[in-house]
């Protein structure tokens, strides 16, 4: 009997809870105004967007990020967002693109030359290893009688080849970094925030043995 009463009590409680419905309150006038009012547009960091585009283009092809920054300057001129024709800025970007390709071309040619000479010395050493130190009659290194000179030459050109590869990587990295910084700084405006304040002050230069020595100084405070 107790179990039957307990069963009906639980069933009644569950039915009562299920029958309750949440009543939605009528929105106030203030809430209606908030709903009808369009939200203010979110802040867009144009410098961050431009920098990402510039860096992605530079990663794909050296100089392409600089070309994108050149396009940004041209767009500002067309839309009257900048004064004058910005010849200096445009010339600087053109110079960067030219410098990137001049450096890249010279380094690539240097790599090809050092790699060619490295393989030449390596081939001569391999020939002499197989022919009792006799020079290759069809080679161009018959003047090298001592194998140690051949080993030295091979090591020098191998080292040069590796150094050139490092400089190629550095040039590629500078290309990417320059495109990123130029695009990032284009939209950086600190005129209203940047400032400094200089005030006279004293510096405690000696606190040993309880003796304090104060030296006059100037305090520089940067306001960012």
End-to-end CA distance of the chain: 80
Secondary structure (H, E, C), the chain: CHHHHHHHHHHHHHHHHHHCCCCCCCCCHHHHHHHHCCCCCCCCCHHHHHHHHHHHHHHHCCCHHHHHHHHHHHHHHHCCCCCCCCHHHHHHHHHHHHHHHHHHHHHHHHHHHHHHHHHHHHHHHHHHHHCCCCCCCCCCCCCCCCHHHHHHHHHHHHHHHHHHHHHHHHHHHHHHHHHHHHHHHHCCCCCCCCEEEEEEEEEEEECHHHCCEEEEEEEEEEEC
| Highest-scoring range by mean pLDDT, 23-32, 92-101, 142-151 | 92-101
Q: pLDDT exceeding 70 applies to what percent of the chain?
A: 65
Q: Give this prediction's pTM.
A: 0.64
Per-residue confidence (pLDDT) for residue 212, from 0 to 100? 56
Per-residue confidence (pLDDT) for residue 145, from 0 to 100? 85
Q: Each residue of 161-171: b (16+ CB within 10 Å) or e?
A: beebeebbeeb
Least confident of 34-38, 104-108, 125-129, 187-191: 34-38
CB-CB neighbours of 137 under 10 Å: 8
Residue 144 has pLDDT above 90, yes or no: no
Residue range 171-197: mean pLDDT, rounded: 78
pLDDT in tens, 209-224: 555 555 666 566 655 5
Residue 54 has pLDDT above 60, yes or no: yes
Query: 186: pLDDT confidence band, cut at 50, 70 and 90?
Result: confident
| Highest-scoring range by mean pLDDT, 42-46, 93-97, 216-220 | 93-97
Domain ranges (residues) in the chain: 46-187
Residues in contact with 180: Cβ distance below 8 Å, sequence separation at least 6, in sequence order: 51, 54, 55, 58, 65
Residue range 95-115: mean pLDDT, rounded: 96
Q: pLDDT exceeding 90 applies to what percent of the chain?
A: 45
Residue 3 has pLDDT above 60, yes or no: no
Tokens 């990032």 locate to 184
Per-residue confidence (pLDDT) for residue 11, from 0 to 100? 44
Per-residue confidence (pLDDT) for residue 203, from 0 to 100? 65
Q: How far apart are CA 166 and CA 11, in angstroms?
A: 79
């Amino acid at each position: 009997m107790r179990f039957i009463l307990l069963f009906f009590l639980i069933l009644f409680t569950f039915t009562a809870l299920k029958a309750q419905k949440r009543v939605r309150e009528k929105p106030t006038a203030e809430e209606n105004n908030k709903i009808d009012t369009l939200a203010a547009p979110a802040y867009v960091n144009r410098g961050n967007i431009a920098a990402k585009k510039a860096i992605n283009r530079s990663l794909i092809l050296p100089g392409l990020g600089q070309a994108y920054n050149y396009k940004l300057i041209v767009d500002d001129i067309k839309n009257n967002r900048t004064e004058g024709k910005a010849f200096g800025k445009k010339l600087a970007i053109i110079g960067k693109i030219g410098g990137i390709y001049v450096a890249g071309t010279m380094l690539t040619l240097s790599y090809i030359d050092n790699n060619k000479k490295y393989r030449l010395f390596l081939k001569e050493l391999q020939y002499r290893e197989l022919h009792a130190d006799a020079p290759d009659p069809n080679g161009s290194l018959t003047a090298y009688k001592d194998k140690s000179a051949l080993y030295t030459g091979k090591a020098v050109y191998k080292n040069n080849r590796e150094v050139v590869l490092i400089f190629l990587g550095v040039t590629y990295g500078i290309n990417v970094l320059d495109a990123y910084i130029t695009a990032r700084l284009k939209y950086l405006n600190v005129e209203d925030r940047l400032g400094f304040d200089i005030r006279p002050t004293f510096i405690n230069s000696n606190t040993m043995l309880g003796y304090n020595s104060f030296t006059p100084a100037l305090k520089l405070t940067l306001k960012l």
